[in-house]
Chain A
Amino acid sequence: MNCLDFRRLCLVEPASREPRVYLHLYHCPACRAYRKRVLQAENELNSVMSVSVPEGLGQKIVFDAEMTSQQRHPRFIWQAIAASVVLAVTIGIGLGIARFAPDVVPTLAMHIADDPLHMSPPQFDASQRLDQVMRHLGGVWQGSKPAITHATVCLLNKRAAAHLVVAGDKGPVTVFLLPGFSARAQHDVVVDGQLAAVQRLGDGSIALFGYPGENFADIAAHFDDSIHWNHEIARLRYDLHIASK
Protein backbone atom coordinates (compact mmCIF):
# COMPACT_ATOMS: atom_id res chain seq x y z
CA MET A 1 0.00 0.00 0.00
CA ASN A 2 1.47 3.34 -0.99
CA CYS A 3 0.69 6.73 0.54
CA LEU A 4 -1.94 7.58 -2.06
CA ASP A 5 -3.83 4.32 -1.50
CA PHE A 6 -3.57 4.83 2.24
CA ARG A 7 -5.02 8.33 2.13
CA ARG A 8 -7.83 7.24 -0.14
CA LEU A 9 -8.73 4.49 2.27
CA CYS A 10 -8.58 6.98 5.12
CA LEU A 11 -11.39 8.94 3.55
CA VAL A 12 -13.46 5.89 2.65
CA GLU A 13 -13.14 4.07 5.96
CA PRO A 14 -11.29 6.17 8.53
CA ALA A 15 -11.74 3.52 11.19
CA SER A 16 -10.37 0.73 9.03
CA ARG A 17 -8.33 -1.81 10.95
CA GLU A 18 -6.95 -3.66 8.02
CA PRO A 19 -3.43 -5.03 8.69
CA ARG A 20 -2.07 -3.24 5.64
CA VAL A 21 -3.17 0.05 7.19
CA TYR A 22 -1.16 -0.56 10.31
CA LEU A 23 1.77 -1.80 8.29
CA HIS A 24 1.81 1.39 6.29
CA LEU A 25 1.43 3.53 9.40
CA TYR A 26 4.39 1.80 10.95
CA HIS A 27 6.63 2.81 8.10
CA CYS A 28 5.26 6.27 7.20
CA PRO A 29 5.32 9.14 9.72
CA ALA A 30 3.69 11.53 7.24
CA CYS A 31 0.65 9.29 6.87
CA ARG A 32 0.53 8.80 10.64
CA ALA A 33 0.15 12.56 10.98
CA TYR A 34 -2.37 12.65 8.15
CA ARG A 35 -4.47 9.91 9.72
CA LYS A 36 -4.40 11.66 13.06
CA ARG A 37 -5.86 14.79 11.46
CA VAL A 38 -8.48 12.79 9.58
CA LEU A 39 -9.54 11.04 12.78
CA GLN A 40 -9.84 14.40 14.53
CA ALA A 41 -12.09 15.60 11.76
CA GLU A 42 -13.99 12.31 11.89
CA ASN A 43 -14.69 12.86 15.59
CA GLU A 44 -16.18 16.21 14.71
CA LEU A 45 -18.16 14.63 11.90
CA ASN A 46 -19.61 12.17 14.40
CA SER A 47 -20.54 15.00 16.74
CA VAL A 48 -22.14 17.04 13.98
CA MET A 49 -24.17 14.12 12.64
CA SER A 50 -25.43 13.16 16.09
CA VAL A 51 -28.29 15.62 15.89
CA SER A 52 -30.59 15.95 18.87
CA VAL A 53 -33.47 13.52 18.89
CA PRO A 54 -36.88 14.89 19.93
CA GLU A 55 -37.46 14.16 23.57
CA GLY A 56 -39.76 11.24 24.21
CA LEU A 57 -39.88 10.14 20.57
CA GLY A 58 -39.35 6.48 21.41
CA GLN A 59 -41.96 6.52 24.16
CA LYS A 60 -44.43 8.20 21.85
CA ILE A 61 -43.90 5.53 19.21
CA VAL A 62 -44.35 2.72 21.73
CA PHE A 63 -47.50 4.40 22.97
CA ASP A 64 -48.83 4.83 19.43
CA ALA A 65 -48.10 1.19 18.67
CA GLU A 66 -50.00 0.07 21.75
CA MET A 67 -52.91 2.30 20.83
CA THR A 68 -52.86 0.90 17.32
CA SER A 69 -53.24 -2.56 18.80
CA GLN A 70 -56.07 -1.50 21.03
CA GLN A 71 -57.86 0.14 18.15
CA ARG A 72 -58.13 -3.25 16.53
CA HIS A 73 -60.34 -4.28 19.43
CA PRO A 74 -63.83 -2.90 19.86
CA ARG A 75 -63.94 0.63 21.19
CA PHE A 76 -67.38 0.39 22.67
CA ILE A 77 -67.85 4.01 23.61
CA TRP A 78 -66.87 5.47 20.29
CA GLN A 79 -68.63 2.77 18.40
CA ALA A 80 -71.74 3.47 20.42
CA ILE A 81 -71.46 7.18 19.75
CA ALA A 82 -70.82 6.58 16.08
CA ALA A 83 -73.72 4.14 15.89
CA SER A 84 -75.99 6.63 17.65
CA VAL A 85 -75.00 9.40 15.29
CA VAL A 86 -75.54 7.18 12.25
CA LEU A 87 -78.91 6.04 13.61
CA ALA A 88 -80.03 9.57 14.41
CA VAL A 89 -78.99 10.82 11.01
CA THR A 90 -80.66 7.88 9.31
CA ILE A 91 -83.93 8.23 11.20
CA GLY A 92 -84.05 11.99 11.45
CA ILE A 93 -82.99 12.98 8.02
CA GLY A 94 -83.87 9.83 6.17
CA LEU A 95 -82.01 8.16 3.44
CA GLY A 96 -82.47 10.97 0.98
CA ILE A 97 -79.05 12.43 1.62
CA ALA A 98 -76.63 10.26 -0.25
CA ARG A 99 -73.47 12.15 0.56
CA PHE A 100 -72.24 14.20 3.47
CA ALA A 101 -68.84 15.27 4.68
CA PRO A 102 -67.10 12.99 7.18
CA ASP A 103 -67.41 13.65 10.87
CA VAL A 104 -63.89 14.23 12.18
CA VAL A 105 -64.80 15.07 15.77
CA PRO A 106 -64.59 11.53 17.23
CA THR A 107 -61.30 10.87 15.49
CA LEU A 108 -59.80 14.15 16.62
CA ALA A 109 -61.12 13.71 20.17
CA MET A 110 -59.49 10.31 20.28
CA HIS A 111 -56.26 11.79 18.99
CA ILE A 112 -56.31 14.39 21.75
CA ALA A 113 -56.89 11.67 24.32
CA ASP A 114 -54.10 9.58 22.81
CA ASP A 115 -51.62 12.42 22.84
CA PRO A 116 -51.85 14.04 26.28
CA LEU A 117 -48.37 15.53 25.97
CA HIS A 118 -49.73 18.38 23.91
CA MET A 119 -51.35 19.83 27.03
CA SER A 120 -48.15 19.60 29.08
CA PRO A 121 -45.93 22.66 29.68
CA PRO A 122 -45.69 24.93 26.64
CA GLN A 123 -43.05 24.30 24.02
CA PHE A 124 -40.54 27.08 24.50
CA ASP A 125 -40.30 27.58 20.76
CA ALA A 126 -43.96 27.03 19.90
CA SER A 127 -44.21 30.25 17.95
CA GLN A 128 -41.26 29.30 15.76
CA ARG A 129 -42.61 25.80 15.41
CA LEU A 130 -45.88 27.23 14.18
CA ASP A 131 -44.01 28.68 11.21
CA GLN A 132 -42.40 25.32 10.50
CA VAL A 133 -45.68 23.47 10.85
CA MET A 134 -47.39 25.89 8.51
CA ARG A 135 -44.64 25.49 5.99
CA HIS A 136 -45.07 21.71 6.13
CA LEU A 137 -48.75 22.05 5.41
CA GLY A 138 -48.16 24.49 2.61
CA GLY A 139 -49.16 27.63 4.42
CA VAL A 140 -47.60 30.83 5.62
CA TRP A 141 -48.67 32.62 8.75
CA GLN A 142 -49.16 36.29 8.07
CA GLY A 143 -50.11 38.75 10.74
CA SER A 144 -50.20 38.53 14.50
CA LYS A 145 -49.78 35.12 16.04
CA PRO A 146 -52.05 33.79 18.74
CA ALA A 147 -50.67 32.88 22.16
CA ILE A 148 -49.60 29.43 21.09
CA THR A 149 -48.24 26.75 23.43
CA HIS A 150 -47.98 23.72 21.16
CA ALA A 151 -47.47 23.17 17.45
CA THR A 152 -46.81 19.87 15.74
CA VAL A 153 -47.58 18.11 12.52
CA CYS A 154 -49.61 14.98 13.16
CA LEU A 155 -51.16 12.24 11.10
CA LEU A 156 -54.90 11.95 11.24
CA ASN A 157 -56.59 9.34 9.13
CA LYS A 158 -53.20 8.84 7.48
CA ARG A 159 -53.06 12.49 6.54
CA ALA A 160 -50.90 15.33 7.74
CA ALA A 161 -52.55 17.99 9.85
CA ALA A 162 -51.50 20.76 12.19
CA HIS A 163 -52.11 20.06 15.85
CA LEU A 164 -51.98 23.36 17.74
CA VAL A 165 -52.86 24.55 21.20
CA VAL A 166 -53.58 28.23 21.75
CA ALA A 167 -54.65 30.16 24.81
CA GLY A 168 -58.36 30.94 24.75
CA ASP A 169 -60.51 33.04 27.05
CA LYS A 170 -61.71 29.98 28.95
CA GLY A 171 -58.54 27.89 28.82
CA PRO A 172 -56.44 26.06 26.26
CA VAL A 173 -58.03 25.57 22.87
CA THR A 174 -56.85 22.72 20.68
CA VAL A 175 -56.94 23.61 17.02
CA PHE A 176 -56.55 21.20 14.11
CA LEU A 177 -55.89 22.59 10.65
CA LEU A 178 -56.95 20.16 7.94
CA PRO A 179 -56.05 21.77 4.62
CA GLY A 180 -57.69 20.10 1.66
CA PHE A 181 -60.04 18.08 3.86
CA SER A 182 -63.74 18.82 3.77
CA ALA A 183 -65.02 17.84 7.17
CA ARG A 184 -68.62 18.10 8.25
CA ALA A 185 -69.31 21.51 9.74
CA GLN A 186 -70.52 21.25 13.34
CA HIS A 187 -71.08 23.51 16.31
CA ASP A 188 -71.22 22.90 20.06
CA VAL A 189 -70.56 19.17 19.97
CA VAL A 190 -69.96 17.96 23.53
CA VAL A 191 -66.95 15.66 23.83
CA ASP A 192 -65.46 14.59 27.19
CA GLY A 193 -66.65 17.76 28.94
CA GLN A 194 -65.33 19.98 26.16
CA LEU A 195 -67.02 21.60 23.24
CA ALA A 196 -65.97 21.01 19.67
CA ALA A 197 -66.67 22.90 16.50
CA VAL A 198 -65.71 22.26 12.90
CA GLN A 199 -65.95 24.71 10.05
CA ARG A 200 -64.48 25.48 6.67
CA LEU A 201 -61.05 27.08 6.43
CA GLY A 202 -59.56 27.88 3.04
CA ASP A 203 -59.93 24.79 0.90
CA GLY A 204 -60.08 22.60 4.00
CA SER A 205 -61.38 22.63 7.54
CA ILE A 206 -60.54 23.78 11.01
CA ALA A 207 -61.60 21.92 14.14
CA LEU A 208 -61.52 23.49 17.59
CA PHE A 209 -61.82 21.89 21.01
CA GLY A 210 -62.15 24.00 24.15
CA TYR A 211 -64.12 24.73 27.26
CA PRO A 212 -67.74 25.93 27.25
CA GLY A 213 -68.09 29.60 26.55
CA GLU A 214 -65.05 29.78 24.31
CA ASN A 215 -65.52 31.94 21.25
CA PHE A 216 -64.53 29.49 18.53
CA ALA A 217 -65.77 31.75 15.75
CA ASP A 218 -63.28 34.49 16.62
CA ILE A 219 -60.38 32.06 16.88
CA ALA A 220 -61.27 30.42 13.57
CA ALA A 221 -61.61 33.83 11.94
CA HIS A 222 -58.16 34.79 13.23
CA PHE A 223 -56.68 31.66 11.66
CA ASP A 224 -58.59 32.22 8.45
CA ASP A 225 -57.37 35.80 8.18
CA SER A 226 -53.77 34.99 9.08
CA ILE A 227 -52.91 31.97 6.95
CA HIS A 228 -51.99 32.20 3.32
CA TRP A 229 -52.26 28.74 1.76
CA ASN A 230 -50.21 27.38 -1.08
CA HIS A 231 -52.78 24.83 -2.19
CA GLU A 232 -50.45 22.95 -4.46
CA ILE A 233 -48.04 22.15 -1.64
CA ALA A 234 -50.87 21.42 0.75
CA ARG A 235 -52.43 18.93 -1.63
CA LEU A 236 -49.05 17.41 -2.38
CA ARG A 237 -48.42 16.66 1.27
CA TYR A 238 -51.76 14.92 1.58
CA ASP A 239 -51.20 12.93 -1.58
CA LEU A 240 -47.79 11.87 -0.44
CA HIS A 241 -49.03 10.60 2.88
CA ILE A 242 -51.76 8.67 1.15
CA ALA A 243 -49.32 7.29 -1.40
CA SER A 244 -47.03 6.07 1.35
CA LYS A 245 -49.69 3.70 2.62
Chain B
Amino acid sequence: MSSKQRRFELMVGALTNDLYRYGYWLCRDPHVAEDLVQETLLRAWRFMDQLRDSKAVKAWLITTLRREHARLYERKRLEIADVDETIVEDPQSRDLLLEVDRNRMRQEILALEDDYREPLALQVVFGCSVKEIAKTMELSESAVMTRLFRARKRVIASFDDVPDRQIPEEVAS
Protein backbone atom coordinates (compact mmCIF):
# COMPACT_ATOMS: atom_id res chain seq x y z
CA MET B 1 0.00 0.00 0.00
CA SER B 2 1.43 3.36 -1.00
CA SER B 3 1.92 6.23 1.39
CA LYS B 4 -0.69 8.23 -0.47
CA GLN B 5 -3.21 5.44 -0.16
CA ARG B 6 -2.46 4.96 3.53
CA ARG B 7 -2.91 8.66 4.25
CA PHE B 8 -6.13 8.69 2.27
CA GLU B 9 -7.56 5.74 4.17
CA LEU B 10 -6.66 7.37 7.48
CA MET B 11 -8.34 10.57 6.36
CA VAL B 12 -11.47 8.75 5.21
CA GLY B 13 -11.62 6.78 8.45
CA ALA B 14 -11.22 9.86 10.59
CA LEU B 15 -13.45 12.33 8.81
CA THR B 16 -16.09 10.55 6.71
CA ASN B 17 -18.70 10.42 9.46
CA ASP B 18 -18.38 14.07 10.40
CA LEU B 19 -18.35 15.11 6.75
CA TYR B 20 -21.50 13.12 6.11
CA ARG B 21 -23.25 14.66 9.12
CA TYR B 22 -22.20 18.14 8.12
CA GLY B 23 -23.33 17.45 4.55
CA TYR B 24 -26.61 16.06 5.80
CA TRP B 25 -27.41 19.15 7.84
CA LEU B 26 -26.41 21.33 4.91
CA CYS B 27 -28.72 19.70 2.40
CA ARG B 28 -31.12 17.75 4.69
CA ASP B 29 -31.06 14.87 2.29
CA PRO B 30 -29.23 11.61 3.03
CA HIS B 31 -28.65 10.70 -0.61
CA VAL B 32 -27.33 14.10 -1.56
CA ALA B 33 -25.18 14.12 1.59
CA GLU B 34 -23.66 10.82 0.52
CA ASP B 35 -22.92 12.22 -2.93
CA LEU B 36 -21.38 15.32 -1.41
CA VAL B 37 -19.06 13.31 0.82
CA GLN B 38 -18.09 11.03 -2.02
CA GLU B 39 -17.34 13.92 -4.37
CA THR B 40 -15.40 15.74 -1.67
CA LEU B 41 -13.23 12.81 -0.70
CA LEU B 42 -12.60 11.72 -4.27
CA ARG B 43 -11.50 15.26 -5.00
CA ALA B 44 -9.21 15.02 -1.98
CA TRP B 45 -7.81 11.79 -3.41
CA ARG B 46 -6.92 13.58 -6.62
CA PHE B 47 -5.19 16.36 -4.69
CA MET B 48 -3.68 14.11 -2.02
CA ASP B 49 -0.14 15.03 -2.94
CA GLN B 50 -0.88 18.65 -2.12
CA LEU B 51 -2.60 17.91 1.19
CA ARG B 52 0.51 17.66 3.28
CA ASP B 53 -0.52 19.78 6.23
CA SER B 54 -2.66 17.51 8.37
CA LYS B 55 -4.04 20.49 10.30
CA ALA B 56 -5.34 22.06 7.12
CA VAL B 57 -6.98 18.93 5.76
CA LYS B 58 -10.17 19.28 7.77
CA ALA B 59 -10.65 22.89 6.74
CA TRP B 60 -9.91 21.97 3.12
CA LEU B 61 -12.49 19.21 3.18
CA ILE B 62 -15.13 21.40 4.80
CA THR B 63 -14.55 24.13 2.24
CA THR B 64 -14.64 21.64 -0.63
CA LEU B 65 -17.87 20.08 0.60
CA ARG B 66 -19.42 23.54 0.95
CA ARG B 67 -18.45 24.34 -2.63
CA GLU B 68 -19.82 21.07 -3.90
CA HIS B 69 -23.05 21.83 -2.11
CA ALA B 70 -23.15 25.38 -3.43
CA ARG B 71 -22.64 24.12 -6.98
CA LEU B 72 -25.58 21.82 -6.57
CA TYR B 73 -27.80 24.68 -5.54
CA GLU B 74 -26.38 27.63 -7.39
CA ARG B 75 -28.90 27.58 -10.21
CA LYS B 76 -31.97 26.45 -8.43
CA ARG B 77 -32.82 24.66 -5.26
CA LEU B 78 -33.53 21.01 -5.68
CA GLU B 79 -36.53 19.23 -4.40
CA ILE B 80 -35.52 17.57 -1.18
CA ALA B 81 -36.73 14.48 0.56
CA ASP B 82 -39.57 14.86 3.00
CA VAL B 83 -38.50 15.67 6.48
CA ASP B 84 -40.35 12.71 7.90
CA GLU B 85 -38.40 10.32 5.71
CA THR B 86 -35.05 11.64 6.83
CA ILE B 87 -35.70 11.25 10.52
CA VAL B 88 -33.14 8.97 12.05
CA GLU B 89 -34.76 6.72 14.56
CA ASP B 90 -32.87 5.66 17.64
CA PRO B 91 -34.05 2.13 18.38
CA GLN B 92 -32.00 2.04 21.57
CA SER B 93 -33.93 4.83 23.15
CA ARG B 94 -36.45 3.64 25.69
CA ASP B 95 -37.36 7.04 26.96
CA LEU B 96 -40.36 8.06 24.93
CA LEU B 97 -40.54 11.56 26.32
CA LEU B 98 -36.90 12.17 25.58
CA GLU B 99 -37.43 10.88 22.08
CA VAL B 100 -40.33 13.25 21.62
CA ASP B 101 -38.10 16.11 22.72
CA ARG B 102 -35.36 14.99 20.38
CA ASN B 103 -37.76 14.75 17.52
CA ARG B 104 -39.01 18.24 18.23
CA MET B 105 -35.42 19.45 18.36
CA ARG B 106 -34.65 17.66 15.08
CA GLN B 107 -37.59 19.32 13.39
CA GLU B 108 -36.45 22.66 14.71
CA ILE B 109 -32.95 22.18 13.29
CA LEU B 110 -34.35 21.14 9.94
CA ALA B 111 -36.59 24.18 9.93
CA LEU B 112 -33.72 26.60 10.55
CA GLU B 113 -32.68 28.80 7.65
CA ASP B 114 -29.53 27.55 5.91
CA ASP B 115 -27.52 30.52 7.19
CA TYR B 116 -28.28 29.54 10.77
CA ARG B 117 -28.14 25.77 10.44
CA GLU B 118 -24.71 25.68 8.86
CA PRO B 119 -22.69 27.40 11.62
CA LEU B 120 -24.49 25.27 14.17
CA ALA B 121 -23.52 22.13 12.26
CA LEU B 122 -19.91 23.27 11.95
CA GLN B 123 -19.75 23.90 15.68
CA VAL B 124 -21.60 20.81 16.88
CA VAL B 125 -20.39 18.27 14.32
CA PHE B 126 -16.81 19.44 13.78
CA GLY B 127 -16.25 21.35 17.00
CA CYS B 128 -15.21 24.44 15.04
CA SER B 129 -14.55 27.65 16.95
CA VAL B 130 -16.32 30.89 16.12
CA LYS B 131 -13.13 32.07 14.40
CA GLU B 132 -12.92 28.92 12.26
CA ILE B 133 -16.58 29.15 11.30
CA ALA B 134 -16.14 32.80 10.39
CA LYS B 135 -13.22 31.92 8.14
CA THR B 136 -15.06 29.01 6.51
CA MET B 137 -18.24 30.97 5.88
CA GLU B 138 -16.43 34.20 5.05
CA LEU B 139 -18.31 36.09 7.73
CA SER B 140 -17.32 38.33 10.60
CA GLU B 141 -17.00 36.68 13.99
CA SER B 142 -19.81 38.82 15.35
CA ALA B 143 -22.08 37.65 12.55
CA VAL B 144 -21.25 34.05 13.36
CA MET B 145 -21.93 34.65 17.04
CA THR B 146 -25.29 36.16 16.23
CA ARG B 147 -26.25 33.24 14.02
CA LEU B 148 -25.12 30.67 16.58
CA PHE B 149 -27.00 32.46 19.28
CA ARG B 150 -30.23 32.65 17.33
CA ALA B 151 -29.95 29.11 16.02
CA ARG B 152 -29.30 27.62 19.41
CA LYS B 153 -31.95 29.78 21.04
CA ARG B 154 -34.56 28.38 18.68
CA VAL B 155 -33.34 24.83 18.82
CA ILE B 156 -32.91 24.39 22.51
CA ALA B 157 -36.00 26.39 23.29
CA SER B 158 -37.79 23.43 21.78
CA PHE B 159 -36.24 21.32 24.47
CA ASP B 160 -38.41 21.44 27.55
CA ASP B 161 -35.68 21.95 30.08
CA VAL B 162 -34.71 25.36 28.82
CA PRO B 163 -37.73 27.66 28.77
CA ASP B 164 -37.60 30.30 26.06
CA ARG B 165 -38.19 33.11 28.50
CA GLN B 166 -34.80 32.60 30.11
CA ILE B 167 -32.96 33.43 26.92
CA PRO B 168 -32.21 37.05 26.05
CA GLU B 169 -33.55 38.34 22.78
CA GLU B 170 -30.50 39.85 21.13
CA VAL B 171 -26.77 39.52 21.14
CA ALA B 172 -24.84 42.72 21.56
CA SER B 173 -22.26 42.88 18.85
Contact = CB atoms under 8 A, between A and B. Distances in A.
Contacts of A44: 98, 101-102, 105, 159
A57 B159 CA distance: 32
Interface in A22-49: 34, 37-38, 40-42, 44-49
Contact of B162 (A37, A53, A236, A240): A37
Interface residues of A, number: 52
Nearest to B125: A49
Which 7 pairs between the two chains have the least Cβ-Cβ distance?
A41-B156, A65-B45, A58-B16, A244-B71, A41-B159, A11-B152, A58-B12
B38 interface: yes
B42 A65 contact: yes
Interface string A229-245: 00001001101100110
Contacts of B121: 49
Given A12-B149, A136-B31, A244-B72, A48 B45 contact: no
B157 to A, nearest CB: 9
15 contacts: A11-B149, A11-B153, A12-B145, A12-B171, A40-B162, A44-B101, A44-B159, A51-B24, A51-B88, A53-B17, A54-B34, A60-B38, A236-B78, A239-B75, A244-B68
Interface of B: 5, 8-9, 12-13, 16-17, 20-21, 24-25, 30-32, 34-35, 37-39, 41-42, 45-46, 68, 71-72, 74-76, 78-79, 81, 85, 88, 90, 98, 101-102, 105-106, 109, 120-121, 123-125, 129-130, 145, 148-149, 152-153, 155-156, 159, 161-162, 166-168, 171-172
Contacts, number: 145
A120 interface: no
A60 B16 CA distance: 11
Nearest to A42: B156
Contacts of B39: 244
A65 B8 contact: yes
Given A40-B162, A45-B159, A240-B78, 15 more contacts: A8-B149, A12-B152, A41-B161, A44-B98, A49-B120, A53-B21, A54-B20, A54-B30, A58-B16, A61-B37, A65-B8, A132-B31, A153-B35, A233-B78, A243-B74
A135 interface: yes
Interface of A: 4-5, 7-8, 11-14, 34, 37-38, 40-42, 44-54, 57-58, 60-62, 64-66, 68-69, 128, 132-133, 135-136, 138, 152-153, 155, 160, 233, 236-237, 239-240, 243-244
